[in-house]
Amino acid sequence: MQFNGEVGDSSTRGFVDESPGGGPARPSPRIYPPAALPRRIARFPHLHTIATHHVAVDLTPPTLAGRHVRLVPLTLHHVPALWEVGSEEEIWRWTLNQILSEAEMRRYVRAALEKQAAGGAIPFATTDAATGRVIGSTRFHNIDPVNRRVEIGYTWIGGAWRRTPANTEAKYLMLRHAFESLGCVRVELRTDALNTRSRSAILRIGAKEEGTLRRHLLTDSGRFRDTVYFSILDDEWPAVKQHLEDQLARPWPTPDA
């Protein structure tokens, strides 16, 4: 998946060049056909594309590898291992979904893969880099190619890997991919307003809290939750990246698993 300039459309509206530079201002913007886009961008880097155009997106999940974790494309084959590590009720206390059996884990994974097939998600299994053991899951979702933004969410990890570098490095790998490979200008994160541990963890990454949507989502438990939104912008990414690399360089406890 890549957002940078991969725009195609069969309409004749083309692309708008709002201010090509030099000379007097024109009374209305010029419109260029899709085939003219590459050379117009080369001449005028400020060129904007019309939001109604379709953006080609490759939803093939990559493998994102770090020192501590590898994020691999999620498949149904991961279900038994995911249930083995995800059977603790505490994991699902503040999540939208309550996974209480292997059958429910299978439905959870199948729903993620269906969302991927529909163009709305890129799900991963989180694995231990040293052993290959599955230790959790995460995904890109709410993918918006036109506005070049994604959300990182549906993130959970086995209890033995909390307070280890696993989750921090997973976020680092996904943020790096979003900003440096996909060309995102904005990455969003959200959590239940009552989940103070998750809210603190997102702030520690370097994300900015933006606000709370009240009675936003209905959870499997029947409770309407308030959702707190956070974001990181592309011009904030260099500082966030350095902060995360500094965090990952410090000593960490070994998971007790």
CA distance 237 to 243: 10
Pure H helices in 19-78: 37-43
CA distance 209 to 211: 6
E strands present in the chain: 7-8, 15-17, 30-32, 54-55, 64-65, 69-73, 121-128, 134-144, 149-157, 186-192, 208-218, 224-233
Q: In the CATH hierarchy, which fold is given to the domain comprising 64-249?
A: Aminopeptidase (3.40.630)
Question: Which carries the bigger pLDDT value, residue 166 or residue 32?
Answer: 166
Q: Are 74 and 60 in contact (CB under 8 A)?
A: no
Give the SS3 label for residue 62: coil
Q: What is the pLDDT of residue 213?
A: 98
Q: Which residue has the tokens 């969410």?
A: 153
pTM of the predicted model, to two decimals? 0.79
Per-residue pLDDT tens over the stretch 67-76: 999 999 999 9
Kindly report the backbone phi and psi dihedral angles of residue 199, in degrees, each rounded to the nearest multiple of 5, phi listed first: -60, -45
- Residue ranges per structural domain of the chain: 7-55, 64-249
Beta bridge partners of 55: 7
Pick from 43-52, 55-64, 167-176: least confident: 43-52
DSSP state of 63: P
